[in-house]
């Protein structure tokens, strides 16, 4: 079967298309040069993200006691299997996390842990400055500390 070439006469020379492309490039160049540039001068300038942005995790606490009851729902729903909890018991709390760790390099920031938590204990903040030079595991103490920075 013969396939018809639908390219127009001028399009076949590509010159018009090249000129169109150059015009678009020039338009953006001049817009950036004289208008509001889209470049952010980080760290002096910081981009504003939506409140729904999912960044660094933290554990909420009430009167200094972590809200988490080590129910194991968050490690169960976590698709990256990056939450590791060891449950324990103490006089003021029937069940609490002795160890609560998140392997952040495995986390995909899906927010399912936050959605699943019945105690509103594990949260994702809007903090996005999390770059590290080596493998990072957030410990319980670190996650509790972060609640003040959210």
How far apart (Å, rounded) are the C-alpha atoms in residues 48 and 50?
A: 7
By CB under 6 A, residue 107 contacts ligand SF4: yes
Token readout for 134 is 């080596």
- Residue reference for tokens 């998140």: 102
140 neighbors 59 (Cβ within 8 angstroms): yes
Rg (CA), the chain: 26
Contact predicate 125/110, CB 8 Å: no
Q: Rule CB under 6 A: is residue 122 a binding residue for ligand SF4?
A: yes
Q: DSSP letter at 87? A: E
Dihedral pair phi/psi, residue 28, rounded to 5°: -70, -35
**Least CB distance to ligand SF4 at residue 134 (A):** 19
For ligand SF4, the binding residue among 112, 136, 147, 150 (CB under 6 A) is 112
Residue 85 touches ligand SF4, criterion: CB under 6 A = yes
> How far apart are CB 56 and ligand SF4 at their closest, in Å?
10
Q: Judged by CB under 6 A, does residue 73 bind ligand SF4? A: yes
Q: Is 69 in the site for ligand SF4 (CB under 6 A)?
A: yes
Check binding of 109 to ligand SF4 (CB under 6 A).
Answer: yes
Tell me the β-bridge partners of 138.
Answer: 102
Q: Is 56 in the site for ligand SF4 (CB under 6 A)?
A: no
Q: Is 70 in the site for ligand SF4 (CB under 6 A)?
A: yes
- Site residues, ligand SF4 (CB under 6 A): 68-74, 78-80, 82-83, 85, 102, 107-113, 116-117, 119, 121-122
């Amino acid at each position: 079967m013969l396939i018809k070439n639908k390219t127009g006469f001028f399009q076949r020379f590509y010159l018009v298309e090249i000129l169109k492309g150059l015009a678009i490039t020039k338009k953006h160049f001049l817009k950036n040069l004289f208008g509001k540039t889209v470049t952010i001068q980080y760290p002096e300038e910081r981009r504003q993200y939506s409140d729904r942005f999912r960044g660094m995790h933290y554990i909420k606490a009430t009167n200094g006691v972590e809200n988490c009851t080590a129910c194991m729902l968050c490690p169960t729903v976590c698709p990256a299997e990056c939450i590791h909890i060891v449950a324990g018991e103490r006089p003021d709390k029937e069940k609490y996390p002795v160890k609560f760790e998140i392997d952040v390099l495995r986390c995909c920031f899906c927010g399912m842990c936050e959605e699943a938590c019945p105690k509103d204990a594990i949260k994702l903040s809007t903090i996005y400055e999390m770059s590290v030079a080596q493998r990072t595991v957030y410990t319980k103490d670190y996650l509790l500390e972060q609640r003040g920075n959210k």
